[in-house]
Structure formats: C-alpha cells, structure tokens
Amino acid sequence: MNDILRKIIEWLEQEVEGQEVINEYEGGLRPKCTDGTDDIIEGRVESANALLEQIKKWEIEDVKNKSRTRSRRKNN
C-alpha cells in the first residue's frame, strides 16, 4: 500500500469515529442538533464507511489480479 492510500485510510477511519456522536443522540444521551451539524456528521460517517468498504474490495481485486498475473507468468 502506498503512503497516500495509507493516509487516506487513516483519515477515513478518523471520520468513522463520528459514529460516537450519532450513538449519543440515538441512545438518548443527548438531543440531536437542530442546526444540521449532526446530519453532516452522519453523512461524513456514511461516506467514510462506504469508501473504506470500496477500498477493501479494490484491494481484494488487486490481489486477485496480481495472483493471476503471477500464475500466467509461471505457466509461460
């Protein structure tokens, strides 16, 4: 994994920590903000989770493709 991708993943993982805020108002520990900030946090968390999942899929595809390429080279 290159350095930029690692930094992106770290940043996305930090964004996912916003789930704690969501858990607080969903669990009744505090009211949901009416100014939209909690909605923004929800959107950022959802986007970060979706992108992390997509990165995992791409990494799996990349490993499979590299494995196929190595296998073809051995057979030639």
- pLDDT, tens digit, 9 for 90 and up, residues 7-51: 999 999 999 999 999 999 999 999 999 999 999 999 999 999 999
Q: pLDDT tier at 76 (50, 70, 90 boundaries)?
A: low
User: H-helix or E-strand containing 67?
Assistant: helix 37-75
Question: Would you state the pLDDT for residue 29?
Answer: 96
Question: Would you state the pLDDT for residue 72?
Answer: 72
Question: Would you state the pLDDT for residue 73?
Answer: 73
Residue numbers of the domain that contains 9: 3-75
Neighbours of 48 (CB within 10 A): 20
Whole-angstrom CA distances from 70 to 2, 14, 22, 60 are 21, 36, 45, 15
Q: Do residues 22 and 38 lie in contact, with contact meaning Cβ atoms separated by under 8 Å?
A: yes
Question: Would you state the pLDDT for residue 74?
Answer: 73
The total number of structural domains that make up the chain? 1
Measured CA to CA, the distance from residue 56 to residue 51 in angstroms comes to 9
